[in-house]
Amino acid sequence: MNAGRLRLAVNGFRRAFSFSYYPKSIGLHSVSYKNLGRQQATFRYNIPCRYYGHDVPITKPMIEDRVMLVLRLYDKVDPNKLTMDSRFREDFGIDSLDHVELVMAMEEEFCFEIPDIDAQRFLTPRDIIQYVCDKHDI
């Protein structure tokens, strides 16, 4: 290996393990560990951590759009007939297995689990929207 390649490799290694190279969005926390023996010594380690912002506040129109999008993309639902008050069983002929698939799609979309007792009450898209709004305190 020639000197130029070795220098590049060493500089890359230093950059990867140097805390001063991390972007500004990463903060450094120092953690102290004390030995409980006779002599107490404090060791400090710098641990990089990334700061994240808050989630975008979710609104009822956002929930309505997301629920209606998931329902429109479901193959058993006709997007042209879909309204807020469409009944899943009567208007689209959705059986219990299809209903479970819809509930699973909503769980994936909104990243929380919906108990079966609550899912049985989902008769229309409006029921799903109201449930999600209640979960998000809207």
Residues recognised as catalytic: 95
Give the count of beta carbons closer than 10 Å to the beta carbon of residue 18.
9
Provide the H-helix boundaries in the chain: 3-17, 60-73, 88-92, 96-110, 116-119, 125-135
Nearest CA to 84 among 104, 68, 103, 101?
68
- Strand 26-34 with 42-50, pairing: antiparallel
